[in-house]
Chain A
Amino acid sequence: MSTNVWIIVAAAVVTYLTRIGGHLVLSRFDKLHPRVEAALNAVPAAVLISLLAPSLVVAGPAEIAALVVAGVVSLRFGPLTMFLTGAAVLIALRQIIG
């Protein structure tokens, strides 16, 4: 098997562990410590912004405009609308600015 396939299988295993692990481990405790709960609550936003942040540094006007519009749209509409609007702004501005 290729390296890619091994990485995919390992990724599948660790992903399944996160999906079943919370139940297996945390359900042993009657109540989560508030700090653990607060830390877990912070996980999704912290991880996702960390992935995205470096692209802000290299972004040009078209990319920044797309992110700003997408961010504003997301305050009012669902993720699909946000994504399509952001993509539309990006594509439109890249046709003009290049």
Chain B
Amino acid sequence: MTTEVLIGRSRGRDFLDGARVGLPVVVASMPFAVLFGALAVENGFTVFEATLMSALVFGGASQMVGLELFGKNIAPWLVVLAIFAVNFRHVLYSATIGRRLAHWPIAHQAVAYFLLTDPQFAETEWRAESGRPASFVWYLGMGATIYVPWVIESGLGAMFGKLIPDTHVLGIDFLLPIYFLGMVMSFRKRPFWLPIVLASGIASILAYKLIGSPWHVPVGAIVGVTLGAFLLPAGKKTPTT
């Protein structure tokens, strides 16, 4: 048996390992992909545009936010800014995960950063911590397993979403707040989560009433993030004090 065959086999196993880690994410994200497609068409997208957005942006919450603003006659740059704001958390993922990927070829890193989602980040960090550094093939196995169904399901949702007869009775119009609440709750172990959530929430409601949409998003975000910077976790005092 040649070395090449051995490498080929271990690569195949790495890919399948990654794919297996990606499977639960496929199940969990399926309703959101279909929902995105259906809502996109409801907000004036074509099936092509809905599928294109999933294929190019590949970020559930930010795509939903984009839709939320699309239907409301808001300047295009503000829609893009809101999507940027929602995706801004990836900057931290990217900075953290950079140490794990730095030895890969540049082209592999470029692909890897495109596929960098919340679960991809968490699983890669966990794998590296447990002493089995993530290979590109493993990473691709997980990323592609999440990406391909995400794009296909968005397209299907866009094509067949209008078959849903009464969106109010089915609760479609209020599914997004429930989804966002779930994401807010998932970060509750972070330092000062409650004061940050309260400050941002109140600021957002005030901005919504006083200035109007979509300014509640940046105003609420800036208030919470500033408070977060102000309230340092214990033991992390600035070096000068």
Contact = CB atoms under 8 A, between A and B. Distances in A.
Nearest to A79: B182
B221 A43 contact: yes
B209 to A, nearest CB: 8
Interface string B107-126: 00110011010000000000
Given A12-B57, A14-B83, A70 B182 contact: yes
A10 to B, nearest CB: 5
Nearest to A72: B185
Contacts of A71: 181, 185
Question: What class of interface size applies to chain A in its complex with B?
Answer: 35 or more
A67 B88 CA distance: 25
A57 B84 contact: no
Contact of A74 (B45, B113, B182, B232): B182
Interface in B63-103: 65-66, 68, 70, 76, 79-80, 83-99, 101-102
Contacts, number: 285
B225 A15 contact: no
Contacts of A16: 113-114
B43 to A, nearest CB: 10
B128 interface: no
Contacts of B94: 18-24, 26
B225 A10 contact: no
Interface residues of B, number: 101
A86 B227 CA distance: 30
Interface stretch (B2-10, B144-152, B171-179): B171-179
The SS class assigned to the A binding surface is helix
B95 A23 contact: yes
Interface string A40-59: 11111111111111111101
B133 interface: no
A42 to B, nearest CB: 2
A8 B52 contact: yes
A87 B171 contact: yes
Interface of A: 2-12, 14-27, 32-57, 59, 63, 66-67, 70-71, 74-75, 78-80, 82-84, 86-87, 90-91, 94-95
26 contacts: A10-B80, A11-B53, A11-B66, A11-B79, A11-B84, A20-B110, A21-B94, A22-B90, A34-B237, A38-B228, A42-B192, A45-B200, A45-B224, A47-B89, A48-B183, A50-B216, A51-B204, A53-B220, A57-B209, A59-B177, A66-B171, A67-B177, A67-B178, A74-B182, A79-B186, A87-B175
Interface of B: 27-28, 31, 44-46, 49, 52-53, 56-59, 61-62, 65-66, 68, 70, 76, 79-80, 83-99, 101-102, 109-110, 113-114, 116, 168-171, 174-188, 190-193, 196-197, 199-205, 208-209, 213, 216-221, 223-233, 236-238
